[in-house]
Amino acid sequence: MRQISGADIPASVDRYLLPDEHQLICLREHPAVLLEPITLATVGLLVAVLLNSVALISSTGLYIIWLAGGVLLLWMVSKTYEWFINYLVVTSGRIFIVTGLVNRKLSAMLLSDVTDLNLRRSLLGRLFGYGELVMEHGLPDQSLSVVRFISYPAEVYLALWLGPDPRDLIEELVSRICRVVAPVSPFKIVRLLEQTSGDQGRDSPAVARELLCRTVADRLDEDVSLERRPELSCYLAEYRNDLRRRNNTENARLTARFLRVIAVTSAITLGSLLGIEYLTQ
């Protein structure tokens, strides 16, 4: 994991850290975010070179094509620089993103406001090694709900629900619980355990979170098929169903978006060529 500490913290991030804030992770977006601008700029330049060599259109047309290629190249350079200066930072209390080339923008969220956190990985994400974090919260106007192109997604996710200490014991116990109550996220389980152990201890001895976690994991291991918890089993089945339907629709939307990019690019290219030919006749 790319973890910047001490003197290596970039000044653009350091200024947003509070004096007592413990920084866990500081990393750039995954380079896959540059795939689109690099591909478009390369294709644009290749088209310009191709049209130049086959002399399909007049010199005015070529001038326009080269100009468009240059604009695409500049756009790619600005995107690359933006990628270089944008950071995702996770501290012990919050998660924030510093973005923007000219106007720097800070989008932050307190981890205590996050009610659930899920890691989503598409086929391309698994191929290139990035993922996206989907945060659920009760806040009405938060811009930071989905963080895309996360490098080292599994490590970032672990750091978000485990916190600063490498507590392997809790990790193993929570994983055992999650196996039974899938698809509830480990983050949610930790939150519920914290809530439960926090509610205890008013008129009885407080139960430590680790002990509670172990007991819950043992109890659920004895009832893996949730036969003794019919209501929970029913709600979980419903939740799984809803989640699958939402994910299928989300995948359909992603495919439609991809196809739209191809269709719009083709329409613009054909329209430009027709326009240039009409103008130069």
Partner 1 sequence: MKLISRDAALALFIATAFLSVLLMALIWLLTQRIDSLNKQLALTARRVNDEILDDFKAIASELSVKLQHEAQTRCYNCPLRQH
Task: Kindly list the residues in this chain that would bind partner 1 in the complex (CB under 8 A).
Answer: 54-56, 116, 136, 181, 184, 188-189, 192-193, 195-197, 199-201, 204-207, 211-212, 215-216, 219, 229, 231-232, 235-236, 238-239, 242-243, 245-246, 249-250, 252-253, 256-257, 259-260, 263-264, 266-267, 270-271, 273-274, 277
Q: Using the minimum distance from each CB to partner 1, give the nearer residue, 21 or 223.
A: 223
Q: Using the minimum distance from each CB to partner 1, give the nearer residue, 4 or 40.
A: 40
Q: How far is the CB of 269 from partner 1 (least distance, A)?
A: 9
Structure tokens at 30: 């995954």
Q: How far is the CB of 153 from partner 1 (least distance, A)?
A: 22
- In angstroms, the CA 139 to CA 142 distance is 6
Q: How far is the CB of 261 from partner 1 (least distance, A)?
A: 9
Check if the beta carbon of residue 28 is closer than 8 Å to that of residue 82. Answer: no
- In angstroms, the CA 240 to CA 89 distance is 31
Q: How far is the CB of 142 from partner 1 (least distance, A)?
A: 15
- In angstroms, the CA 218 to CA 197 distance is 17
- In angstroms, the CA 36 to CA 31 distance is 10
Q: Using the minimum distance from each CB to partner 1, give the nearer residue, 105 or 240.
A: 240
Q: How far is the CB of 196 from partner 1 (least distance, A)?
A: 4
Residue 136, beta-bridge partner list: 116
Residue 37, beta-bridge partner list: none
- In angstroms, the CA 14 to CA 171 distance is 30
Q: Using the minimum distance from each CB to partner 1, give the nearer residue, 1 or 234.
A: 234
Q: Using the minimum distance from each CB to partner 1, give the nearer residue, 60 or 248.
A: 248
Check if the beta carbon of residue 216 is closer than 8 Å to that of residue 177. Answer: yes
Q: How far is the CB of 172 from partner 1 (least distance, A)?
A: 18
Q: Using the minimum distance from each CB to partner 1, give the nearer residue, 112 or 215.
A: 215
Q: Is the Cα torsion angle 186, 188, 192, 195 positive or negative in sign?
A: positive
